[in-house]
Amino acid sequence: MKVAVRYYTKTGNTEKLAKAVADAVGVKALPISEPIDEPVDILFLGNSYYAFSIDPEVRDYIRKLDSTKVKRIVNFGSATMLNSTWKKVKAEADKVGIKMDDREFHCKGEFKGLHKGRPNEDDLKKAASFARKIVK
């Protein structure tokens, strides 16, 4: 099974999760500025809420994905207030014909003093465990 991990982060929180996910599945976590050049069965896509939606860079990244190279997206991320970005990511994935996995990983992320220290070691362990279950 071919796997890739891409992420978008403004605070570094999602990058921490991406590295935990990537380490767990034996690949390198790369920012969304790095294209998917080879076909993958699973794209772990890390993102978060910014102003009550996914960032326009994430939206544009998904819109540029090639459905012949990405079979399925698995969503993960962190946020301070809102939880899942799954519906927003799925709406974009649907537009380009890429399947979204129903499962996702989400945890709190620190921002402006809220949820200090998150994602923490426990969150990173849970993200890694989640990723390993996906690729089983």
Place of tokens 């809220």: 114
Residues 6+ apart with CB under 8 A from 63: 92, 95, 96
Rg of the chain over Cα atoms, rounded to whole angstroms, equals 14
User: For the ranges 103-107, 111-115, 123-127, which has the lowest average pLDDT?
Assistant: 111-115
Cβ proximity of 52 and 44 under 8 Å: no
Query: Percent of the chain at pLDDT above 70?
Result: 96
Residues 105-132, buried b or exposed e (16+ Cβ, 10 A)? bbbbbbbeeebeebbeeebbebbbebbe
What's the rounded Cα separation, in Å, for the pair 10 and 80?
13
* Nearest C-alpha neighbor of 26 from the set 128, 107, 120: 128
Query: Percent of the chain at pLDDT above 90?
Result: 78
pTM of the model: 0.93
For residue 57, the tally of other CB atoms under 10 A from its CB is: 15
Structure tokens at 29: 């976590």
> What's the pLDDT score for residue 53?
76
